[in-house]
Amino acid sequence: MKDKNFAPASLAAQAMGWIDPVTKAVVPPIHMASTYQRDEDNGYSSGRIYARADNPTFDQAEATLAALEGGAKALVFSSGMSAATACFLALSPGDHVVVPKVMYWSLRNWLATFATQWGLKVDFVEAEKTDAIAAAIRPGATKLVWLETPANPTWTVSDIAAVAELARKAGALLGVDSTVATPVLTRPIEFGADLVMHSATKYLNGHSDIIAGALVGAREDAHWAKLRAIRAQLGTILGQTEAWLLMRGMRTLYPRVQWACRSAQSLAEKFANHPMVAEVLYPGLPGFSGHAMAAKQMKGGFSGMLSVRVKGGERAAIATAARVGLWKRATSLGGVESLIEHRASIEGPGTPCPTDLLRLSVGVEECNDLFDDLDQALRRAHNG
């Protein structure tokens, strides 16, 4: 599929058009080998030595993801956390990083604890305000600026292009957690990002049946080699079966995300006028603070993620989640089944998440069914 300029959705559907040269199979095998034979001349003509470094089953998923993001290379990891933390572990103790105050809670905790103890100087800023990032960057000392956009769980939106420019001028790299946007909606490298990170557990795989992560690099340079080495040294590689499932899931990435965006937009608009809802947080709503930036940066939709703040506070929010039938009460996001979560409960003490907030991950069920189910739950929770 290389000689034609096919759209990303076509590249994804056909996993770059791969056909097995021997069997003509349209789907690749799973390579289970953990090691590879050395040649008689003591070399490794296959380029493969040991499967803690890589595995042929990764090849398609990595090539496809790099193409979808418009990057030079991709690496799949054992989890989104191992992909994200590799970006910080590739720095040196004493380096300064600027990260969002509102971001995936587990990465935030790791940065505040392990990364800080290890010697990184971590500044948490309101990353939806470019001025706040500009003020925090220390030219020469700042080595990495991190964004998550839209950011969990209030979906604040950061200006990738403006921050990329600030980072570049200061000699820092820009990494973007684009788990929620996916390459369907935003390609951060086109806005100047150096690294794109995904929890591939979410939309890329899309079926809530693997834990996986991925990085995409704008360039295959010395820094990229370091990230590859960290994966091989720590052994934070993806399992072979998981890599195969990831590629299978990515084939339907475009229709799944497009469907989820349509439903999320419709649900956001309907719940914004619901008598038991105080506020809907969704970048697709014109009244949302990050809407204008999202409209500039996200093409074809505003993601399948939204949050509703329930009238009656924490008690009413938890009671609402308890009364749904179709929505499933579970953490995670980006799967074909819709999930609902009282987010403050899982983030725990110190969370910036409002206690009346329910996070919704919209799947591919019929949208009216999703509305009716949450509507009845809100009403029943309100009536005791």
Ligand X SMILES: Cc1ncc(COP(=O)(O)O)c(C=O)c1O
Name the site residues for ligand X (rule: CB under 6 A): 79-81, 84, 104, 107, 148, 152, 177, 179-180, 199, 201, 211, 213, 332-333
CB neighbours of 134 closer than 8 A, spacing ≥ 6? 166
Q: Active-site residue numbers? A: 52, 104, 177, 202
* Closest CB 151 distance from ligand X, rounded Å: 8
Report the candidate in 326, 218, 241, 215 with the shortest Cα–Cα distance to residue 55. 241
Q: Which is nearer to ligand X, 84 or 218 (CB)?
A: 84
CB neighbours of 140 closer than 8 A, spacing ≥ 6? 170, 171
Q: Which is nearer to ligand X, 297 or 319 (CB)?
A: 297
The CA-based dihedral angle spanning residues 101, 191, 298, 105, taken in that order and rounded to the nearest 10 degrees: -20
- Both tokens assigned to 12: 């994804």
Q: Which is nearer to ligand X, 150 or 319 (CB)?
A: 150
Give helix 56-69 / helix 240-250 axis angle, nearest 10°: 30
Angle at 272 between CA 270 and CA 275, to 5 degrees: 95
* Closest CB 93 distance from ligand X, rounded Å: 24
Q: Which is nearer to ligand X, 278 or 336 (CB)?
A: 336
- Both tokens assigned to 43: 């070399």
CB neighbours of 34 closer than 8 A, spacing ≥ 6? 50, 51
Q: Which is nearer to ligand X, 216 or 381 (CB)?
A: 216
Q: Which is nearer to ligand X, 193 or 333 (CB)?
A: 333
Burial (CB count <10 Å: 0-12, 13-18, 19+), residue 46: exposed
CA-to-CA separations, 199 to 176, 334, 344, in angstroms, rounded: 11, 10, 20
* Closest CB 66 distance from ligand X, rounded Å: 19
Report the candidate in 111, 167, 103, 118 with the shortest Cα–Cα distance to residue 140. 167
| Residue with the shortest CB distance to ligand X | 80
* Closest CB 152 distance from ligand X, rounded Å: 5
Helices (H), 113-158: 116-118, 130-136
* Closest CB 83 distance from ligand X, rounded Å: 8
* Closest CB 30 distance from ligand X, rounded Å: 21
Host H or E run for residue 195: strand 195-199
Asked if residue 321 lies in contact with residue 380, where contact means CB atoms within 8 angstroms, the answer is no
